[in-house]
Amino acid sequence: MYQYTEFDRAFLAERNRQFRAQVARRISGSLTEEEFRPLRLMNGLYLQLHAYMLRVAVPYGSLDPVKMRQLAYLAERWDKGYGHFTTRTNIQYNWPRLSDVPDMLDALSEVGMHAIQTSGNTIRNVTSDHFAGAAADELDDPRPVAELIRQWSTDHPEFQFLPRKFKIAVIASETDRAVMKSHDVGLRIVERDGARGYQVWVGGGMGRTPMVARLLRDFLPEADLLPYLEAVLATYNRMGRRDNKYKARIKITVFENGLDAFRDEVEAEFPHRRAAFSGVDQDWLAEIRARFVTPTLPERDAAAYDAARDADPVFRAWADTNVSAHKHADHGIVTISLKAHGETPGDASADQMRLVADLAERYGHGDIRVSHAQNLVLPHVALADIPAVHAELRKAGLGTANIGLASDIIACPGMDYCALATARSIPVATGLATRLEELKIEHEVGALQIKISGCINACGHHHVGHIGILGLDRAGVENYQITLGGDPSESTAIGTRTGPGFAYDEIVPAVERLIFAYLDLREGPEETFLQTYRRLGMAPFKSALYDEEARAHAAE
């Protein structure tokens, strides 16, 4: 993967030196909070309900053992022994002291990491496919392009004060594992007539006005990427609304002006931007590519894997959900669930982080990924080694067999931590997972994505959950709205609200009714929840949610 150059290290050291001085001036009283707040946000430092929170960028979700061990060190040295992996593939520390943050940033810089542009109205951490470099269906590894965008966007002087934050995702396959069409700009690497280029999607997003991205450019030649992105950003910077925070994202700019008018403006700007690029960016891209070589995977006999599957039903159940096909048939992609039933989605202890680092080193060619679904991935493991990996994971509480199942829930931190939240998310997720484990039905239920947000900003991706849950404050009481039919994949869809919301102690039983209704309604085990919903529509699910509730009330 990409390793920092002398330029990167010097830049980061200077930024950290500046921030250390800014923190000192805030503590000494030379800076007011109003002056300090934008400075700390530029460096990923939030103030939440109970403490500060430091959000560390994990560019395109890629880590190596050295970085992962340093994240574990930060968790133990300056936090409470754990970190929280987010839906933007970042990691958050929930308990740092202001005076410790400069040391934390210095420790991160030792391993080529930082918290820059993890907040503010800037281009945020670029996300990608967590199976990049390993998936059989990809055209190319999308991460070098993501790294090029990271370098271009970091501290880009023109785009430090956009109307609102800006999120970019890059994928390289038709299958979308990165929720690409829910990004401000989504890029898909494609090939046409033997030439590489990009499909450019614009104006996707969640939040209070969820929208699916629309196709801005069907084929952008490879060398035009950065000048074209500059044209898009410059157009948005100029046309985007600054009078209303809730109408400031590019999705609203595109929606209000129309896609064609927006495209015309971008195309008019593009030649000016193109002329300013000498082509040096393509040289950089070539250099970056050289650092992302997929490891040479030796031929390995997979017999041990097959034998373990036959001999151990626990291993087989886990392998069925947590191991995905690798482009090399004798290897597998291992997804490590951070969704043990009853535990906080996305949390990993320092010990768990170190174990994952060790396993990556021993069995996984030193490659670790963070997925937007708040799990970790070892993308290149020989099938023959997977039983040993599983045994180690189980000992550390990381052996949960639930990837893609109902308890593999995305949940934002919600009101347990977040100052913006209107209700809790985590206890709803843990409550649901615990209930599913009691019922022992999730393997029978099969593919089902439940996503929970604790406020309308939708960090928990509820709009694209097959079952989405949105926590709100209704007259001083937590209330949870359900949406159905959302889809985070390449056939992206926004879910539809079922009707009135449910109280905190009603939401888990309500989702349970939905799941049992699905089991009754499906044509067979091969028909997924989403397919059943698409075949039958809202009515039978609505009936399961509300009619039974009405009957229960009537019986009281």
Partner 1 sequence: MAREFTPKVVTANALIEGDVVYLAADDRWVRDLAEAELLIDEAEADYRLLQAQARAGEIVGAYLAEMRAGPDGPKPTHFREDFRRKGPSNRFHGKQADGLSHA
Task: Give exposure, 171-182, as e/b (b: 16+ Cβ within 10 Å).
Answer: bbbeebbbbbbb
Taking CB under 8 A as the binding criterion, the range among 96-104, 330-338, 439-447, 490-498 that sits at the site for partner 1 is: 96-104
Count CB neighbours of 513 within 10 A. 17
Residues 254, 307: Cα–Cα separation, whole Å: 55
- Minimum CB–partner distance for residue 506 and partner 1 (Å): 16
- Minimum CB–partner distance for residue 75 and partner 1 (Å): 13
- Minimum CB–partner distance for residue 29 and partner 1 (Å): 4
- Minimum CB–partner distance for residue 454 and partner 1 (Å): 11
Taking CB under 8 A as the binding criterion, the range among 56-64, 174-182, 323-331, 410-418 that sits at the site for partner 1 is: 410-418
Taking CB under 8 A as the criterion, the residue among 417, 529, 533, 541 binding partner 1 is 417
Taking CB under 8 A as the binding criterion, the range among 26-34, 144-152, 157-165, 384-392 that sits at the site for partner 1 is: 26-34
- Minimum CB–partner distance for residue 420 and partner 1 (Å): 11
* Interacting residues of 146 by C-beta distance below 8 A, sequence separation 6+: 59, 60, 126, 127, 128, 170
Instruction: Identify which of residues 22 and 182 has a Cβ nearer to partner 1 in the complex.
Output: 22
Q: In DSSP terms, which residues pair with 188 in a beta bridge? A: 171, 199
HSE toward the beta carbon, residue 499, CA cutoff 13 A: 11
Taking CB under 8 A as the criterion, the residue among 14, 17, 21, 99 binding partner 1 is 99
DSSP 386: H
450 burial class (0-12, 13-18, 19+ CB within 10 angstroms)?
Answer: buried
- Minimum CB–partner distance for residue 28 and partner 1 (Å): 8
> Closest Cα to residue 154, out of 204, 120, 198, 180?
120
Query: Contacts with partner 1 in 344-383 (CB under 8 A)?
Result: 344
Instruction: Identify which of residues 266 and 470 has a Cβ nearer to partner 1 in the complex.
Output: 470
Is 477 a binder of partner 1 (CB under 8 A)? yes
* Interacting residues of 287 by C-beta distance below 8 A, sequence separation 6+: none
Contact 548, 513 (CB under 8 A): yes
Tokens representing residue 72 in the block: 């574990």
Is 136 a binder of partner 1 (CB under 8 A)? no
* 3-state secondary structure labels for all residues of 279-312: CHHHHHHHHHHHCCCCCCCCCCCCHHHHHHHHHC
Is 506 a binder of partner 1 (CB under 8 A)? no
Angle between helices 303-311 and 313-322 (to 10 degrees): 120
- Minimum CB–partner distance for residue 370 and partner 1 (Å): 20
Instruction: Identify which of residues 22 and 430 has a Cβ nearer to partner 1 in the complex.
Output: 430
Please name the helix (run of DSSP H) or strand (run of DSSP E) that holds residue 174, with its range, or none: none
Tell me the site size for partner 1, rule CB under 8 A: 30
Instruction: Identify which of residues 38 and 221 has a Cβ nearer to partner 1 in the complex.
Output: 38
Taking CB under 8 A as the criterion, the residue among 3, 6, 7, 33 binding partner 1 is 33
Contact 152, 226 (CB under 8 A): yes
Is 430 a binder of partner 1 (CB under 8 A)? yes
Taking CB under 8 A as the criterion, the residue among 157, 279, 298, 476 binding partner 1 is 476
Instruction: Identify which of residues 322 and 407 has a Cβ nearer to partner 1 in the complex.
Output: 407
Contact 451, 444 (CB under 8 A): no
Is 249 a binder of partner 1 (CB under 8 A)? no
- Minimum CB–partner distance for residue 352 and partner 1 (Å): 15
Is 114 a binder of partner 1 (CB under 8 A)? no
Is 32 a binder of partner 1 (CB under 8 A)? yes
Taking CB under 8 A as the criterion, the residue among 124, 369, 372, 424 binding partner 1 is 424
HSE toward the beta carbon, residue 299, CA cutoff 13 A: 0
Instruction: Identify which of residues 195 and 477 has a Cβ nearer to partner 1 in the complex.
Output: 477
Q: For the window 56-95, what string marks contact with partner 1 as x by the rule CB under 8 A?
A: ------------------------x-------------xx
CA dihedral angle for residue 343, residue 349, residue 353, residue 354, rounded to 10 degrees: -140
Taking CB under 8 A as the criterion, the residue among 426, 445, 470, 530 binding partner 1 is 426
Residues 533, 342: Cα–Cα separation, whole Å: 27
Q: In DSSP terms, which residues pair with 452 in a beta bridge? A: 411, 469
Taking CB under 8 A as the binding criterion, the range among 195-203, 212-220, 416-424, 456-464 that sits at the site for partner 1 is: 416-424
Instruction: Identify which of residues 270 and 502 has a Cβ nearer to partner 1 in the complex.
Output: 502
Taking CB under 8 A as the binding criterion, the range among 134-142, 225-233, 256-264, 415-423 that sits at the site for partner 1 is: 415-423
Residues 556, 542: Cα–Cα separation, whole Å: 21
Is 550 a binder of partner 1 (CB under 8 A)? no
> Closest Cα to residue 133, out of 334, 327, 382, 319?
327
Which residues are at the interface with partner 1 (CB under 8 A)? 26-27, 29, 32-33, 47-52, 80, 94-99, 344, 415-417, 424, 426-427, 430, 473, 476-478
